[in-house]
Amino acid sequence: MNTRLPLFVLLAVTAGVAFTLRTPRLGGEFDLDAFTRVPTLVNGRVKPVDTVARTSLLMLQGRQRVVAPDGRTVAPAEWLLDMFFKPLQADRYQVFEVVHPDVLAMLGLATTDGAGGKRFSLTQLQPRLMELDRQARLADDVEGAARTPFQRAVVQLRDAVILYQRLQTCAAAPGIETFLEDLARLEQNLPAAVAAVRSAPTGTAAPGGKTDAGGWSALSRAFTVMDEFGYLRLVPPAAGVAAEEGWRTIGGAWSATLASGQLEPSAQALAALGRAWQRGNAAEFNRLVRAQRERTMAAWPEMKRKTDFETRFNAAQPFYTSMALYVAAALVAFFSWLRWPEELGRIAFGLVGLAFVLTSGGILARMWLEARPPVTNLYSSALFVGWGAVALCLVLEYFFRNAVGSVAAGLIGFAALLIAHHLSLGGDTMEMMRAVLDSNFWLATHVVTITVGYSATFLAGLLAILYIVRGALTRSLDRATADALARMIYGIVCFATFFSLVGTVLGGIWADQSWGRFWGWDPKENGALLIVLWNAIILHARSGGYVRQRGLAVLAVFGNVVTAWSWFGVNMLGVGLHSYGFMGAAFWWLILFVASQLAVMLIAALPWAQWRSAQLLAAGVAGRAAAGRG
Amino acid sequence: MTTPTSVAGPRRILPLLLSVRQQLASLKLTLVLLGLSMILVFAGTLDQVNLGIWAVQEKYFRSFVVYGQVGPVSVPLFPGGYLVGGLLMLNLTAAFLGRFALTWRKSGLLLSHFGLILLLVGELLTGLWQEDFHLRLSMGETRNYAESFQATELAFTDITEAKFDEVVAIPEALLAGKESLQHPKLPFRVVTKAYYPNSSLAMRGHEGGAVMATAGLGLRILAAPQPVTYRPKERNAPSAFVELSAPDRSLGVYLVSLLLDQPQEFVHEGRTWRIALRPKRVYQPYSLTLLKFSHDRYAGTQIPKNFSSRLRLNTPDGRDDREVLIYMNNPLRYGGLTFYQSGFENNDRTTILQVVRNPSWLIPYVACGLMSVGLLLQFGVHLAGFVGRRRTANLPPPALA
Q: Do residues A294 and A216 both lie within one domain?
A: yes
Q: Do residues A210 and A280 both lie within one domain?
A: yes
pLDDT at A242: 60
Task: Tell me whether residue A4 is in a domain.
Answer: no
Q: What is the DSSP letter of A578?
A: T
Query: How many interchain CB pairs under 8 A, A with B?
Result: 185
Q: Sign of the C-alpha dihedral, residues A79, A85, A90, A91? A: positive
pLDDT at A24: 66
The Cβ-side half-sphere exposure at B385, using a 13 Å CA radius, reads 9
The residue with greater pLDDT, B232 or B48, is B48
Q: What is the DSSP letter of A426?
A: G
Write out chain A residues lying below 8 Å of B340, CB-based: 514-516
Q: Do residues A269 and A359 both lie within one domain?
A: no
Burial A402-415 (b: 16+ CB within 10 A, else e): bbbbbbbbbbbbbb
> Which run of H or of E encompasses A353?
helix A341-370
Write out chain B residues lying below 8 Å of A44, CB-based: 297-301, 303, 305
Write out chain B residues lying below 8 Å of A495, CB-based: 379
Q: Do residues A230 and A88 both lie within one domain?
A: no
Could you tell me if A509 lies within 8 Å of chain B, comparing CB atoms?
yes
The Cβ-side half-sphere exposure at A253, using a 13 Å CA radius, reads 26
For residues B312 and B321, is the Cβ–Cβ distance under 8 A? Answer: yes
Question: Could you give the number of structural domains in chain A?
Answer: 4
Q: Do residues A497 and A445 both lie within one domain?
A: yes
Count CB atoms within 10 A of the CB of residue A584: 14
Q: Does residue A206 carry a pLDDT above 60?
A: no
The residue with greater pLDDT, A245 or B219, is B219
Q: Do residues A187 and A165 both lie within one domain?
A: no
- Which of B56, B390, B399 has the CB atom closest to A341's CB atom? B399
For residues A329 and A404, is the Cβ–Cβ distance under 8 A? Answer: no
Hey, are the CB atoms on B371 and A501 less than 8 Å from each other? yes
Q: What is the mean pLDDT of residues A59-78?
A: 87
Provide the chain B residues 60-89 that lie in CB contact (below 8 A) with chain A.
Answer: 60-61
pLDDT at A570: 75
- Which of A438, A506, A575 has the CB atom closest to B305's CB atom? A438
Task: Tell me whether residue A623 is in a domain.
Answer: no
Considering chain A, what percentage of its residues have pLDDT values greater than 90? Answer: 26
Q: Do residues A191 and A231 both lie within one domain?
A: yes
User: Which residue spans within B246-366 are E strands per DSSP?
Assistant: 250-257, 264-268, 271-297, 304-314, 321-327, 332-334, 337-345, 350-357
Q: Do residues A450 and A576 both lie within one domain?
A: yes
Q: Do residues A503 and A578 both lie within one domain?
A: yes
Task: Tell me whether residue A199 is in a domain.
Answer: yes
Q: Which of A130-144, A592-606, B289-303 has the lowest mean pLDDT?
A: B289-303
Mind telling me how many Å the CA of B297 is from chain A's nearest CA? 8
Q: Does residue A309 carry a pLDDT above 80?
A: yes
Hey, are the CB atoms on A402 and B28 less than 8 Å from each other? no
Q: What is the mean pLDDT of residues A337-356?
A: 88
Write out chain A residues lying below 8 Å of B123, CB-based: 518-519
Q: What angle do CA B100, B104, B109 make, to 5 degrees?
A: 45
pLDDT at A625: 42
d(CA A526, CA A524): 5
Considering chain A, what percentage of its residues have pLDDT values greater than 70? Answer: 90
Q: Does residue B5 carry a pLDDT above 50?
A: no
Q: Do residues A116 and A162 both lie within one domain?
A: yes
Q: Do residues A368 and A405 both lie within one domain?
A: yes
Q: Does residue A221 carry a pLDDT above 90?
A: no
Q: What is the mean pLDDT of residues B85-103?
A: 81
Write out chain B residues lying below 8 Å of A530, CB-based: 38, 41-42
Task: Tell me whether residue A612 is in a domain.
Answer: no
The residue with greater pLDDT, A200 or B85, is B85
Q: Does residue A357 carry a pLDDT above 90?
A: yes
The boundaries of the domain holding residue A209 are 179-300
For residues A622 and A543, is the Cβ–Cβ distance under 8 A? Answer: no
Q: What is the mean pLDDT of residues A416-427?
A: 85
Tell me whether residue A333 is exposed, middle or buried, using C-beta atoms within 10 angstroms of its C-beta: 0 to 12, 13 to 18, 19 or more.
buried
Task: Tell me whether residue A237 is in a domain.
Answer: yes
Write out chain B residues lying below 8 Å of A478, CB-based: 398, 400-401
Mind telling me how many Å the CA of B365 is from chain A's nearest CA? 7
Task: Tell me whether residue A351 is in a domain.
Answer: yes
Mind telling me how many Å the CA of B77 is from chain A's nearest CA? 20
pLDDT at A496: 93
> Which run of H or of E encompasses B223?
strand B221-225
**Which residues have CB under 8 Å from B248's CB, separation 6+?**
none
Q: Do residues A276 and A361 both lie within one domain?
A: no
User: Which residue spans within A116-236 are E strands per DSSP?
Assistant: 119-121
Interface test with A, best of B45, B48, B121 (most A CBs within 10 A): B45
- Which of B53, B299, B307 has the CB atom closest to A520's CB atom? B53
Provide the chain B residues 166-205 that lie in CB contact (below 8 A) with chain A.
Answer: none
Could you tell me if A432 lies within 8 Å of chain B, comparing CB atoms?
yes
Average pLDDT, chain A: 84
Hey, are the CB atoms on A540 and B30 less than 8 Å from each other? yes
Write out chain B residues lying below 8 Å of A438, CB-based: 305-306, 328-329
Distance of CA A515 to the CA centre of its chain: 30
The whole model's pTM is what?
0.81
Hey, are the CB atoms on A484 and B398 less than 8 Å from each other? yes
Q: Where are the domains of chain B?
A: 8-99, 131-142+283-357, 150-280
Hey, are the CB atoms on B399 and A576 less than 8 Å from each other? no
Kindly report, residue by residue over B55-66, the tens digit of the pLDDT. 888 888 888 998
Could you tell me if B298 lies within 8 Å of chain A, comparing CB atoms?
yes
pLDDT at A574: 57
Q: Does residue A328 carry a pLDDT above 70?
A: yes
Kindly report, residue by residue over B327-347, the tens digit of the pLDDT. 887 888 888 888 888 888 877
**Which residues have CB under 8 Å from A297's CB, separation 6+?**
A39, A303, A304
Q: Is A123 helix (H, G, I), strand (E, B) or coil?
A: helix
Write out chain B residues lying below 8 Å of A233, CB-based: 299-300
Q: Does residue A563 carry a pLDDT above 90?
A: yes
| Residue A44 region by backbone torsions, left for phi larger than 0, else alpha for psi between -120 and 50, else beta | left
pLDDT at A628: 43
Helices A404-423 and A479-514, packing angle to 10 deg: 40
Task: Tell me whether residue A209 is in a domain.
Answer: yes
Hey, are the CB atoms on B398 and A402 less than 8 Å from each other? yes
Q: Which of A74-88, A189-203, A381-395, A522-536 has the lowest mean pLDDT?
A: A189-203
d(CA A476, CA A617): 9
Mind telling me how many Å the CA of A42 is from chain B's nearest CA? 7
Q: What is the DSSP letter of A30?
A: S
